[in-house]
Homo-oligomer: A and B are copies of this chain.
Amino acid sequence: MTDSTAIALLSGGLDSATAAALAIKSGFRVIGLSFDYGQRHRRELDAAVEIAKALNLAEHHTINVDLAMWGGSSLTDHAQTLPTSGVETSIIPNTYVPGRNTVFIAIGLSLAEARGADRLVLGVNAVDYSGYPDCRPDYLEAFQDLADLSSRAGREGHGPKLWAPLVEWSKQQIAEEALHLGIPIERTWSCYSGGDVPCGVCDSCRIRDEALLAAGRPDLCSPGRP
């Protein structure tokens, strides 16, 4: 398996770090890819660099694609309020960046083709984030169909396969696997805000802290937790 390359999208958060580590465990040579898309803070990009080093990735690229240019999301638009009231699974939350995952996966496929990679590793998770249309299994299946038609390698029958190992996992399962894989969880960044320490009150912090508590690691929870 050591001849096979995988591209792993790295947000700097816990989920994508866990997915990348699972690809390494499966024997892939892993190249990390992160996106400077005009997010509110660079803290998560710094975390992605840290995780790439900690996992000893073969390469790590951060590409600029300024989706904040046209607004439309509280993750990039400073005029909107971040949600702290809990994820409603039937409603698309206002942290939604228009087309973000579609752009990220498309760019990941470009790098995958340039490197002859067999897999594109995604940390997307539909259980805690089913409010996002672009984190659901039917979306990923449609993207695979597109990928198989979009590239030279795909048309020739050996294009990259999307691999989202965490898509049906609970956040607690992800936290437990991350601990099992030895991921330096304290170096990942999931908080929507970009302070010195995670805020502990945004939805992302709350979900992560609940999972770490359930996994028996209160010491890894956000310092800002109420």
Contacts and interface: CB of A to CB of B under 8 A. Distances in A.
The SS class assigned to the A binding surface is helix
A176 interface: no
Stoichiometry, copies per complex: 2
Interface in A97-156: 97-103, 105-107, 109-111, 113-115, 133-134, 136, 138-139, 142-143, 145-147, 149-152, 154-155
A61 B67 CA distance: 11
Interface residues of A, number: 44
Interface of A: 61, 63-67, 69-72, 92, 96-103, 105-107, 109-111, 113-115, 133-134, 136, 138-139, 142-143, 145-147, 149-152, 154-155
A33 to B, nearest CB: 9
B146 A133 contact: no
Given A114-B70, A114-B72, A151 B98 contact: yes
Contacts of A100: 110
Given A103-B103, A133-B154, A70 B110 contact: yes
A64 B65 CA distance: 6
B133 A142 contact: no
B64 A70 contact: no
Given A63-B65, A113-B72, A150 B154 contact: no
